[in-house]
Structure 1
Amino acid sequence: MYLVAIRALKIQDLIHSSSRLKEVAGGSYLLGRYCSRISSRVADHVTAHDKGKYIFYRSSGGEVVAAFEHEKHAREFLRLMKEGYRRLFGRRVISSTTPIEVGDNGSGSLNELHRDLAIARYSGFAPTAQVQNPYVAICWSCGERPADRVLTDDSGSDEPTVHHFCLSCDLRSKSFEDYKSEVEQKLKGGFTTIPSGVDDLARHDRSGYVAYMISDGNSFGHFVREIPDLDGYKGFSEDLQETIDECLFSVLDDAKFLSNNQMAPMLPLMTGGDDLLVLFPARWGISMTLDFVARFEEAAKALGKYSNSVESLSMSAGVVICKQTLSHKTVHEIGEDVIKSAKYTSKRSGLSSALAFRVLAGSKYCDRDASNTNLATGCTCGGFRRSEIEEILAMRRELDDLSSSHRRRLKQCLSSHSPMLDSERERVLKLISERNEDTALKVREMMSHKPKSIFAVLEGWEYLESHRRNS
């Protein structure tokens, strides 16, 4: 048997290259179909004449790993899959340079394959020229590729709107309904449908805010490299996807009371592999993300049987809470910074699950270091270990009767280390004590022992509600 692999690079950038959320979700669905259905059809095509055998070891998450009985079939499979990816997404994909012959037990071939992919990844591609022609229309959605079709939208206005689309963005848009149907079959908690757009989730918040969850596995690459054989790699790939789907949609079991209809308070935009992008209502985004991370950490213990790694699998997640009108491309850029904070915390705490969040007040934002607080635009809160986030949710419930003016003044005191604010801090605590002495004592203790946690409570005050009825 001859082993080959194809892997898509910068999947997040690929998915977010289109401008509308439906095309983001449709792009994720198309990538999944490329890995599973299209790869299977291509394998059938290249082996049809000689009746050669083949085995798929992985076909999800932007990666396809397969073994063919004949080397010529493996080479032809690589050629057709790379061409298909280029036509479907307008980009190139890395692959193993030559088919790798597999021994009797497959030992060593998997590591050799990963080394081949790593070389291809860091070798990069030769630059390609962008189309520059005044007579060629550029795609309205992605703004990158030449448009080859014209679509008319006659809804919501007196005059129809004409847009030019490239093949890839047109296919993504048309794939959304198929993606929606596929996701709705996995729903739990009595829900039967998912939102069609961000507006459906923004209705849960009086200010029109939503929560974007971006998640990524911790040291999954090291875990995979310690898998000793191809059969174990195949079993791990299949079980990992099932585990992630089960943990994500199980969050809905405790969320039935959030909605009085059959629409789930969740819109998965990107699934497959350990990279996820999911929309939640802003009020429960942090709580639902924490629930997902906790469920995965527990369920992933069963996956340890596939690898010789001594480290257990865990998940880091970043939550960006913002206005529904903020561009998903902008949210993606911010989310990359937020999840870095969670990843850093995870590594410092021995690769345990971690979470960070950022609340963006209004539709504007500015890039800055996480330690530099700007209350007008929000700051990154995190990262925190899973147990610390649970503690923050409990602190939020304990301080429920803090007034908005007291919260604002406390947050200003905590955001600066100036000695001049010590007197202001005491004045605020005195005012809180006049209203509720027990709350003042709790605040004083938290500020002394857990200033980072209480600042996170004050920063995310409106968005630290539990999605569980009895919490």
Structure 2
Amino acid sequence: MPYLLAAEADKIQDFIFRSSRLREVVGASQLLTRFCRSIEDTLAKQYNGQVVVNDGGSFRVIFDDVRQAIDFGNDLSELYRLTLGGSLTVAEPVEMNDDFADANKNAAERLRWGKNRRQGVMVEVHMPYVAFCESCGVGLAERRDRLAVRNASRHRYLCATCQIKAKERDRGLREFLGAVYDAYAKKAEIPAHIKPDWPEDADAIAELDLSGRNYVAYLVADGNGMGQLFGSCDQHQLQQLSQGLSRVLSESLAVPMIAFRKQVPAQAAMIPMLPLILGGDDLFALIPAPYALDIARRFCLEWEKCMQMLVNKIGLHNVPRPTIAAAVVICKGTYPYTLAHRRAKALLEDAKRQSKLLAAKTGEHLSAVNFEVILGNRLAGINEADGDQVIQRSLRPYWVAENDLSVGALQHGIDLRHLLAQRYALKDL
């Protein structure tokens, strides 16, 4: 009898964000992507496993023997620890009958049970009178070296993990961002011999703020109702959906950046974005501030179109129209990206809640965009932390739609397109 094994990396964002420099964040994302993709041709093949999902730190693998499944899970967890320095939860194998969807649901429940009841602890080696890593501030430094980056003027103390992330970034970003660049280069008609010029850090994107105020924007996005979509899949459909999600995300992000390239041709040499997390339906990217809301709107529309094509291609029926929620945080280039991400996630929850409310009351499915501008370097969301009820005049989140909104949708929000049109009309005042 076949068995389904579910495994998932723990605290992925903690691993990716445990560095102060964006180049190491990108390196961590690529390291995770490369690890997931390598499992199918290495460890899974060794144990005769059939990989269904291996993306974004999540795994679903089918085995003919329960012993093989258990041994694979043990080796996968140890390999993840040795390679990335973190932990990975492996659920007990689930027996598969004819209903793959039911087995996948049971595997997900066992995985949640395992995550909530982890045994044992992981400790950092600690000794007094030693240097801590200047990037993450947590690990013990192993060496003092100058990073291989533009304008690297001084040596830094770095731990082993941050060194690996930096080296991963230096080796190129083909595994992590290859799909984004391929879509971008194809639409921009960039010759094949030209190497991608990704931004090094937020300062490079801040230069695209032609007002000279050095603002940047962080875009966070997450698909709506993805649990229902995954729950409707059989084994073959789940495999196709898992493989297609990253491609949809990459192509959807490339489209608005081409529009930016045409609008600001003087800045066309460098790719005007830097994805930091790009997996499944999750996105966290650094983009130019002046066009951030229009980029978010175009991204959502393109994601809806590409996702609908994917759903039709794999034969999923009787599922809601694919929509996505997005949040934009506009801030200074020097603002900590971790704080921007935390604020963006809170705004994203508001956008997702609004989309669910609209679907529940009217049966209509629309994408939504929320945003906030952080002036200077103040802490975002400080009113919410006070515990006091603060009423803020706002029309956010905004709907994203290709055509005019219905009466039901207008009762719950307005079209982002109208906000952008009004903002453009007032740009010279």
Pair 1:319 & 2:328 matched:
yes
Pair 1:287 & 2:294 matched:
yes
Which of 213, 222, 230 is the aligned partner of 1:216? 222
Q: Check conservation: 2:91, 2:114, Cα contact below 8 A.
A: yes
Q: How many residues align?
A: 388
Q: 2-side partners of 1:109 and 1:232: how far apart? A: 14
Pair 1:201 & 2:205 matched:
yes
Q: Check conservation: 2:4, 2:60, Cα contact below 8 A.
A: yes
Q: Which residue does the alignment assign to 1:21?
A: 22
Pair 1:394 & 2:409 matched:
no
Q: 1:259 to 1:132 in 2, by over 3 A?
A: same
Q: Which residue does the alignment assign to 1:267?
A: 274
Measured against aligned partners, the alpha-carbon deviations of 1:432-466 in whole angstroms (never above 9, x if no partner) come to xxxxxxxxxxxxxxxxxxxxxxxxxxxxxxxxxxx
Measured against aligned partners, the alpha-carbon deviations of 1:32-51 in whole angstroms (never above 9, x if no partner) come to 1111114531223x33xxxx
Q: Check conservation: 1:224, 1:307, Cα contact below 8 A.
A: no
Pair 1:349 & 2:349 matched:
no
Q: 1:118 to 1:232 in 2, by over 3 A?
A: same
Q: How far is 1:365 from its partner?
A: 2.1
Classify the secondary structure of the residue corresponding to 1:397: helix
Q: 1-side partners of 2:52 and 2:25: how far apart? A: 27
Q: Check conservation: 2:16, 2:25, Cα contact below 8 A.
A: yes
Q: 2-side partners of 1:30 and 1:270: how far apart? A: 11
Q: 1-side partners of 2:63 and 2:395: how far apart? A: 49
Q: Check conservation: 1:318, 1:357, Cα contact below 8 A.
A: yes
Q: 1-side partners of 2:343 and 2:110: how far apart? A: 32
Q: 2-side partners of 1:380 and 1:84: how far apart? A: 49
Q: Check conservation: 1:90, 1:145, Cα contact below 8 A.
A: no
Q: How far is 1:23 from its partner?
A: 0.7
Q: 1:320 to 1:179 in 2, by over 3 A?
A: farther
Which of 209, 234, 241 is the aligned partner of 2:239? 234
After TM superposition, the structure 1 = structure 2 runs for residues 47-446 of structure 1, keeping only pairs within 5 Å, are: 47=47, 53-97=48-92, 99-104=93-98, 106=100, 108-124=102-118, 126-152=120-146, 161-166=155-160, 168-182=161-175, 183=177, 184-188=181-185, 189-190=188-189, 192-205=196-209, 206-227=212-233, 229-257=234-262, 258-260=264-266, 261-305=268-312, 306-307=315-316, 310-350=319-359, 351-366=365-380, 367-369=382-384, 372=390, 382-387=396-401, 388-401=415-428, 403=429
Q: Check conservation: 1:344, 1:383, Cα contact below 8 A.
A: no
Q: What's the C-alpha RMSD, in Å, of the aligned pairs?
A: 2.7
Classify the secondary structure of the residue corresponding to 1:27: helix
For 1:180, give the aligned amino acid: L
Q: 1-side partners of 2:143 and 2:152: how far apart? A: 22
* Unpaired runs of at least 5, structure 1: 48-52, 404-471
Q: 1:153 to 1:3 in 2, by over 3 A?
A: closer
Q: Check conservation: 1:29, 1:179, Cα contact below 8 A.
A: no
* Unpaired runs of at least 5, structure 2: 191-195, 360-364, 402-414
- After TM superposition, the score normalised by the length of structure 2 is 0.82
Instruction: Name the stretch that deviates more: 4-13 or 268-277.
Output: 4-13
Q: How far is 1:100 from its partner?
A: 2.2
Q: Check conservation: 2:126, 2:140, Cα contact below 8 A.
A: no
Q: How far is 1:214 from its partner?
A: 0.8
For 1:319, give the aligned amino acid: V
Q: Which residue does the alignment assign to 2:362?
A: none
Q: 2-side partners of 1:109 and 1:291: how far apart? A: 37
Q: How far is 1:15 from its partner?
A: 1.3
- After TM superposition, the score normalised by the length of structure 1 is 0.75
Instruction: Name the stretch that deviates more: 184-193 or 215-224.
Output: 184-193
Q: 1:34 to 1:17 in 2, by over 3 A?
A: same
Measured against aligned partners, the alpha-carbon deviations of 1:99-154 in whole angstroms (never above 9, x if no partner) come to 22323563522222122122223334544445442155433322223334443459
Q: 1:309 to 1:225 in 2, by over 3 A?
A: farther
